Amino acid sequence: MSTSAQLQAPGAAVDDGSLAARIARHDQAAFEILMRRYNGRLFRVARAILKDDAAAEDVLQDAYLDAYRHMSDYRGGAGLGTWLTRIVINHALMRLRKERRHSVVVPFGKWDTDDSHPEESVKDERAESPASATLRAEIRALIERGVDRLPIAFRTVFVMREIDDLTVEETAACLRIPQATVRTRLFRARALLREALARDIDAATADVFGFAGARCDRIVAGTLARLAKGDMPDVSFAPADVPEPPSE
């Protein structure tokens, strides 16, 4: 089997150093494996800085091309993932500076949402209902909006540590800041998100299981229709006979 075929084989365990050496020789099969290996992590870092999916994709492509062009300069002093992350951060910050020249920067006050992670919840092996899927998507969107409104320094550290699961050491190396600063920024980001989510939940509870609109109309119409037909329930309770709810 040829080298390229080995690199493309499903589950092929090729270490980063070997990939870097082959990419430096313009092996595009190796480059594809590298991109697929780091796409998720690097996209999230770019997205954390830019707060825009399309912009993050553009920046990631630019960063990959830059890395491909300069792969022969990689000396292995830092891990390849760290080296790539620095390139992505540089491209993202460069784009952010260009965008900010043409826009008003809104300062961050005390905003909402939290540092909870829906992916940490216990997964139900059964198929998720459409209602549950919708609720999960709404919770995820709420958290994403909250992360987007964090100051850029907090937001980037939060994404790298909590979402990409980088260590304190890796995050500090990528951002070129002290490890103590990583810990401080993460602590502050969590506090801001936790405080804000509590406010969001308070504001949202008024609409939980709401009866306005179609649901209200449907229940009223159904009840009146049954009343007109004399369709009464088989069992009725006097106020004093309300049963205890079943145990969980």
Tell me the two tokens of residue 105: 């920067």
pLDDT tier for residue 188 given thresholds of 50, 70 and 90: very high
Question: How many angstroms separate the CA atoms of 171 and 163, rounded?
Answer: 12
Neighbours of 111 (CB within 10 A): 16
Find out whether 146 and 113 touch, Cβ atoms under 8 Å.
yes
Summary count for the chain: helices (H), strands (E): 10, 0
113 pLDDT band (50/70/90 cuts)? very low
Predicted confidence band of residue 105 (pLDDT cuts 50, 70, 90): very low
| Token pair 């405080």 in the structure block, residue | 195
Higher pLDDT, 177 or 103: 177
Give pTM, 2 decimals: 0.61
CA 232 to mean position of chain CA atoms:
50
The full set of domains in the chain, from first to last, is: 7-100 (1.10.1740.10), 131-207 (1.10.10.10)
Strands (E) in the chain, as ranges, are none
